[in-house]
Copies of this chain bind each other. A is one copy, B any other.
């Protein structure tokens, strides 16, 4: 067995092309690339219009079974697949999310893929990158400062400080900021109020940046964001404060997709990274559309498993961007399937056909769901060292029996070469005619939409709404938000709303405890449990190992 170097070692040894050369390979002139250093660049949104005559490339959506502690390697598969497509002569562009810096200080492990399927320069991408997330932090907190100033200066709009829903954000894991009291210190220091910080990627502005199809759409979405309620319970929006222009200006550059490359010089657009529970968990609409303008195939991913990420891709992102996937890749591992079948994490190195076969039912449900959207699923088996031949054979046979395309991939160990067969299967599936249909009609009530998702995607018997949620449903409809799509905030570990119910739970109901409106992003969030929107640092933070080497390189980042 080969010994594979660490991710950062592989990344730092990569032979990168200048970003202008990568852009040139996509037919993009230098004037449309704003370089950020030699190996990163921002692409002008004009490219979307300039290339408007070109036929769009096909969208390959990468999703997964429900995540387990064993790991699936969805990002690695996405990057590797982009590389593999180039191996077979296809013009492919990868389009993925950009990572948040905050968690980097805490846990090792970034969001750039792994092994020989990574996007680079991974150090930059995992740190400040091109400043998109800093721009979102700034715009979010500028709005908060402007709201507070409005109240401090007389509160003409009559905002009830107890009903202020707009909080603050920081791209850092700082649990002490979850709940704060601000505005203390007397009449010169603002108005006392309860507040708190979310991590920046949980900001509604991040979701908006990822759903807007250009600067004008960005501005009109920002305008609709609800900041709180008046003493008479009327919602107040950014439009009432008249600061949508300033926020748009702060986000002007952040709206441009970032171009980087994979270890094999495949172009990759990395842009936007909203939460996959309280938001929709996909990279930006403009990046996906631009990738489709520039390439013949776009490999893109959605957060968590297919029940969350893929469902939201189909019902939220596809609608916002008029983006139609041609094929959906479901990433699975023998290890994770065994866990869904009841095997313990410590025992995963042992062959366990019984647990494996039991675990197939989780995969089954996702295959059914993808087919329900009218799309062909392809199962990508991400090979791990301890997977036995027998285990792999059983899985392959099972998929074939179900009439599902399936292929083994070794992109982590071998890069694009390890995914050639998979790439061929995917192209074949993508080239077949398909009729993509979202799951629900927007004219359905919010309640009906949630029921449809719960029953048809999760396999639930029904949905219970808390008393609070019922009241909120009414208010949402009254305020004219009833025709928005729904964004489910649910545990990623189970098809149900109970993280411990792995595999394919049956005979369960979903409980919606709370509803929130993201009027600018354009969806109603249905919370089925507590969602942590500001993480904390672990006992021994990764920051302790980080440094800069004598020759100026990042140390201990991963």
In the bound complex, what is the Cα–Cα distance between A181 and B548 (angstroms)? 34
What's the minimum C-beta distance from A39 to chain B, rounded to whole angstroms?
Answer: 9
- Is the Cβ of B127 less than 8 Å from the Cβ of A249? yes
Considering only residues 166-185 of chain A, those with a C-beta below 8 Å from chain B are 170-185
User: A480 contacts the other chain (Cβ, under 8 Å)?
Assistant: no
Q: Determine if A555 is an interface residue (Cβ-Cβ < 8 Å).
A: yes
A367 interfacial contact with B, CB 8 Å: no
B contact residues around A546 at 8 Å (CB): 245-246, 249
Decide yes or no whether A389 CB sits under 8 A from chain B: no
Q: A182-B180, A544-B243 known; A153 and B539 CB under 8 Å?
A: yes
Partner pick for A37 among B35, B146, B177, B191, CB 8 A cutoff:
B35
Chain A window 266-295, contacts with chain B (Cβ cutoff 8 Å), 1 for yes, 0 for no: 000000000000000000000000000000
What is the bound-complex CA distance between A545 and B181, given in angstroms?
31
Q: Could you say how many copies of this chain the assembly holds?
A: 2
Contact A249 B557 (CB under 8 A): yes
Q: Bound state CA distance, A195 and B171, in angstroms?
A: 18
Q: Does A109 contact B (CB under 8 A)?
A: no
- Which has the most chain B C-beta neighbours within 10 Å: A145, A171, A252, A537? A145
Give complex CA distance A539, B127 in Å. Answer: 37
Is A38 located at the chain interface by the 8 A CB criterion?
A: yes
Residues of chain B within 8 A of A431, CB atoms compared: none
The residue on B at minimum CB distance from A539 is: B153
Q: Please, what's the 1-or-0 string for A202-240, where 1 marks a CB less than 8 Å from any CB in chain B?
A: 000000000000010001000000000000000000000
| Complex Cα spacing A252 to B179, Å | 32
A470 at the interface (CB under 8 A from B): no
Whole-angstrom distance from the CB of A139 to the nearest CB of chain B? 10
Tell whether A455 is near chain B: CB-to-CB under 8 Å: no
Contacts of A101 in B (CB 8 A): 138
A432 within 8 A of B: no
Asked if B128 and A548 sit within 8 Å, CB to CB, the answer is no
In the complex, A543→B250 CA distance in Å?
10
Asked whether A181 and B184 contact (CB < 8 A) given A149-B536, A246-B105, the answer is yes
The minimal Cβ–Cβ distance linking A265 to chain B, given in whole angstroms, is: 20
B554 touches A252 (CB 8 A): yes
Closest B residue to A253 by CB, please name it: B128
Inter-chain contacts of A149 with B (CB < 8 A): 175, 536-537, 541
Residue of B with least CB distance to A540: B153
Tell me which of A34, A182, A195, A537 has the highest count of chain B C-beta atoms within 10 A of its own C-beta: A182
* A193 nearest in chain B by CB position: B176
Cβ contact within 8 Å between A180 and B184:
yes
A134 at the interface (CB under 8 A from B): yes
A134-B134, A180-B180 known; A172-B185 Cβ under 8 A: no
| CB proximity to B under 8 Å, residues A531-558 | 536-537, 539, 541, 543-548, 552, 554-557
Complex interface: chain B residues within 8 A of A543 (CB): 142, 146, 243, 245-246
Q: State A177–B182 Cα separation when bound (angstroms).
A: 6
Closest beta carbon of chain B to A195's beta carbon, Å:
8
Q: Which of A191, A248, A252 has the most CB of B within 10 A?
A: A252
Contact assessment for B175 and A189 in the assembled complex, using a CB-CB cutoff below 8 Å: yes
A195 to B34, CA, bound (A): 39
Cα–Cα distance between A242 and B547 once the two chains are bound (Å): 11
Instruction: Let me know if A152 is at the binding interface, CB within 8 A.
Output: yes
Q: A3 an interface residue at 8 Å Cβ cutoff?
A: no
Q: Is A264 an interface residue (CB 8 A)?
A: no
Given contacts A215-B548, A249-B557, A105 and B145 within 8 Å (CB-CB): yes
A180, chain B: closest CB distance, angstroms = 5
A547, B38: Cβ atoms under 8 Å?
Answer: no
For the complex of A and B, the 5 pairs showing the least CB-CB separation, nearest first, are: A245-B547, A176-B190, A246-B543, A134-B134, A179-B185
Q: Can you list 13 A-B pairs, Cβ within 8 angstroms, ordered by A?
A: A35-B37, A105-B246, A128-B134, A128-B253, A134-B138, A141-B174, A142-B543, A146-B543, A179-B182, A219-B548, A243-B541, A245-B546, A246-B543
Apart from A35-B38, A180-B184, what are 12 other A-B pairs with CB-CB below 8 Å?
A: A34-B36, A35-B35, A105-B142, A141-B170, A149-B536, A149-B541, A176-B183, A179-B183, A179-B184, A215-B548, A245-B548, A252-B554
